[in-house]
Amino acid sequence: MASYCPDSAPRLCTPARRSDRLCLSRSLPRFRGSILSLRVLPSARLPVVIFSLSLALAAPPAGAQQFVSRDLPGPVVWSESAAALDADEDGDLDLFIVNANGWSMPGDLQPDSQPLAPTLLRNDGNDLDGFPIWTDASAALLPAGLVLHGKSVAVFDADGDGRQDLAIAVAFGGRQRLLRKDPLSGTFLDESATRLPTLVLNAMSVAAGDVDDDGDLDLVFSDAGASSFGAPGGLARLLLNDGAGHFIDAPEQLGAALKIGAQNAKLIDLDGDCDLDLVVDGKSPTTQFYENDGAGQFELKLNVVPGSTQPGYASTYESDFCDLDGDGDFDAVIMNTAFQFVDSVTTNQLAQMGQLRFSLPDAAVFDDNNCHDENDFAFLDADDDGDLDLLVGALPFPGSGCPNPDTSEKLFLNMGPVGTGSMSWVSGAFDAGPDATLDLELADFDGDGAYDVVSVQGEYFPPFINRYYRNTGPADSQPPSVLATSATPATVPLSALAGGWPRRAVLQDSIMDDGVSYLQADLVVSTDKGGETSMTSSAMAHVGGSTFRGVVDPAPSSTGLVGMDVSWHVRAEDPAGNSVESAAQTTRLCGVEAYGAPTPTSAVSFGAAGEPTVGDVFTLQVAGGPAGAGAVLLVGFGRVEIAKKGGLLLVDPAGLILIDVTLDGGGGLALPVNLPTGLGWAGLGLSAQVAVFDGAQSHGVSFSNALELVVCGEP
């Protein structure tokens, strides 16, 4: 489909939601907050009618078939969710699957109500046909005796050791789980009891991301409540990471409201400020949007993300987000909006209006086959044209009334721009079906540069045989996109550099699926102070929801940090080697630094309290001089080192400003300096020194050390 590049430059993320645009290209994200979808049946107590669907599926046109299936090994059980990870750390992607027995309660749609062990399939390389060889390594790598009604899994680094750990959402009053990768044995250890608070939830989803910008990954669990799909519902839970992989329940920071039938918890930057907001959807009409202030304090805002107008089980049980229209903000695809079994697209108007607002959901965007009992969305640039297409996992529930019998996984190509018929169904894109798909997972499992698909099965229409689909379409040749970057002020105070100055970028590539990203991103920093330059590059961490975080922490020049011009930009590369670089942004480091030494025989010292900031007052401080002595404040525009009267003149005499002052009875001085607005102070660099008249000195004067100052603020 034709690739179109509108005026989509990366946004500069600001709390004011500024939408300043530069212009660049396209991108992907890496993180895992796998989201499960539950079922839409007329009644939670409806008995399952097991029957053989004689859906006489017409053979798809050979040219349309892109995804070729193989059955996956492992137990044939109800599987809810899958996640790709490198479990054995051999460089290829393996597969973790969580299993359950129950839709709204254990055993309601199965004769067996017992919890199930998860499955870990190891990727042992490709066979002669190019398909991965899968080996069930559950017994070797997972904790013995671990059984649960698992609904969702997030792959993330809990404790910052560089290894992939697992958070599992457990339903039906189960304890939530955290499996930590043991660096010694290479196996996963169940450390839920020591790392998670005791949460007994009916959790349908878990997402991981750094919500408070402290550099570690936090967790959010959705909770449907004891009744699953009935009142009163449940409260989403925010668990903050202490930095060592121990999590603390933080209800006061999330401020969650009850949600009936809560399904998915998704962390994503919807309002364009480069922090992670939270969306909780589910089987009640209102989709909850929790806006993050950047420090992990959330505010619930209703009627922001469109939900379903359908009651009960027909309400939204999946919504997912990506930039569908190429304008640099995240749009949404939503299940069950105006009608049951009917999906809609709604576009984010942030780029156009400067504030978060979604268009009315539009089902006419789909040209055909928008009528099945569906469970999961995932986005993939299937035709390698630079925009994201839509994959849909469906289930062959006969009550959908869909005239089209094709209930295998579905592919809709994005014809762009978003409008009537712009999502075009490709008949027969997947070679298998019908099946009972609950979740899709995308990854390049066979290493050929094209993203493959895994479909896990459950709930209805057994046997539940999970499938791997090899993508035989084009390999990824599209560069990532930098959708947004942290805004850079004209000046940055030295105090902001303590521990590093965090910078974020929102990236999108050729897949988007529940916050997963396979991108590598680097923060490139260059500095210049007085012609002394440097350049460094450091890895940015994927911190959830397509967002990456790095830290600017420049090394001092030979004359310090104050007055240094610091430029930074982001370079992102996908596994196929396609790359993009954002435009550079530059700031000047402001504040106060001391330099030079006082007259050797003098105790006079010169310093400052606070940082010189436009619109504020800071204080120059002198200490160690003779009581009541006269002095001169020397203010100039550069550093020198000139021997003078037994000491050193450290301020350039060219254009020198002299200000007479008097020390107090203790031989000191506190001189408030007001920097009013509107006078162009921001970024101005000055040097200052004090010369004290001192009869005890052979030359009658003592020189202090000097201060280099750059005024903080915006022009």
pLDDT of residue 477: 98
- Contact residues for 291 (Cβ-Cβ < 8 A; gap 6+): 271, 277, 298, 299, 301
Structure-token match 């500024």, residue found: 18
Give the model confidence (pLDDT) of 531-549 as tens digits: 999 999 999 999 999 999 9
Please give the mean pLDDT across all residues of the chain. Answer: 90
Q: Domains in the chain and their CATH numbers?
A: 91-296 (2.130.10.130), 305-478 (no CATH), 485-590 (2.60.40.10), 596-711 (2.60.40.730)
**Using an 8 Å Cβ cutoff, are 269 and 282 in contact?**
no
Cα angle for residues 709, 711, 715 (degrees, 5° grid): 155
Lowest model confidence (mean pLDDT) among 91-100, 157-166, 399-408, 498-507:
399-408
Residue for token pair 């809609």: 344
Q: If you search the block for the tokens 């039938």, which residue do you land on?
A: 261
* Predicted local distance difference test score (pLDDT) of residue 397: 73
Distances (CA, A) of 94 to 137, 501, 599: 10, 35, 68
Q: What is the pLDDT of residue 21?
A: 30
At residue 55 the predicted structure's pLDDT band, cuts being 50, 70 and 90, is: very low
Q: Is the pLDDT of residue 82 over 60?
A: yes
For 139, the enclosing helix (H) or strand (E) is: helix 138-141
- Asked whether the predicted pLDDT for residue 30 surpasses 80, the reply is no
* 69 close to 430: Cβ distance less than 8 angstroms: yes
What is the structure's pLDDT at 435? 87
Q: Please write the tens of the pLDDT for every residue from 427-467.
A: 999 997 788 999 999 999 999 999 999 999 999 888 999 99
What is the reported pLDDT for 125?
98
DSSP state of 309: -
What DSSP string runs through 406-421? --S-EEEEE-SSSSTT
Three-class DSSP labels, 250-293? CHHHHCCCCECCEEEEEEECCCCCCCCEEEEEECCCCCEEEEEC
Supply the pLDDT for residue 15: 40
**Predicted local confidence at residue 309, as pLDDT:** 67
For 415-509, strand residue ranges (E) read 423-425, 437-443, 452-457, 467-471, 481-486, 491-493, 501-508
Structure tokens at 625: 């001089």
* Angstrom distance (rounded) from CA 179 to CA 192: 7
The confidence band for 58, taking pLDDT boundaries of 50, 70 and 90, is very low
Reply yes or no on whether the pLDDT at 424 is more than 60: yes
pLDDT of residue 634: 98
Which pair of structure tokens corresponds to residue 445? 């499992």
The pLDDT value recorded for residue 317 is: 81
- Alpha helices by DSSP H, 344-428: 350-353
Q: pLDDT digits over 234-286, tens only? A: 999 999 999 999 999 999 999 999 999 999 999 999 999 999 999 999 988 88
User: Distance between CA 297 and CA 153 in Å, rounded?
Assistant: 24
Residue 408's pLDDT band, with cuts at 50, 70 and 90, is confident
Measured distance CA(168)–CA(343) in Å, rounded: 28
Q: Does the pLDDT at position 17 exceed 90?
A: no
For residue range 350-373, list pLDDT tens digits in order: 999 999 999 999 999 999 988 888
Written as one letter, the residue type at 326 is G
The band of 12, judged by pLDDT with boundaries at 50, 70 and 90, is confident
DSSP-derived letter for residue 554 is P
pLDDT band at 379 (very low <50, low <70, confident <90, very high): very high
SS3 label, residue 314: helix
- Provide CB contacts within 8 A for 18, sequence distance 6+: 11, 12, 354, 487
The residue with greater pLDDT, 574 or 61, is 574
Q: Is 558 exposed, middle or buried (0-12, 13-18, 19+ CB in 10 A)?
A: exposed
Measured in whole angstroms, the distance separating CA 400 from the mean position of its chain's CA atoms is 35
* Contacts of 378 by beta carbon, 8 Å cutoff, 6+ apart: 320, 390, 391, 393, 440, 441, 442, 453, 511, 512, 513, 514
From CA 214, how far away is CA 4, in angstroms rounded?
37
pTM to 2 decimal places: 0.90
φ, ψ for residue 353 (rounded to 5)?
Answer: -110, -10
294-324: pLDDT as tens digits: 999 999 999 999 987 666 555 788 999 999 9
480: DSSP letter: P
Total residues found in the chain within this entry: 715
Rounded Cα distance, 308 and 287, in Å: 8
Cβ atoms of 3 and 477 within 8 Å: the answer is: no
Neighbours of 448 (CB within 10 A): 16
Residues 48 and 684: their CA atoms lie apart, in Å, by: 75
Higher pLDDT, 148 or 679: 148
**Measured distance CA(12)–CA(24) in Å, rounded:** 13
For position 126, what pLDDT does the model report?
Answer: 98
pLDDT at 40: 32
- Which residues make beta-bridge pairs with 551? 502
**Positions of E strands within 37-146:** 67-71, 79-85, 94-99, 119-126, 132-136
Q: Which tokens is 333 given?
A: 């695809």
What is the percentage of the chain residues whose pLDDT exceeds 70? Answer: 90
Q: Where are the alpha helices (DSSP H) in 170-280?
A: 192-195, 251-254
> Looking at residues 582-602, what average pLDDT do you find?
97
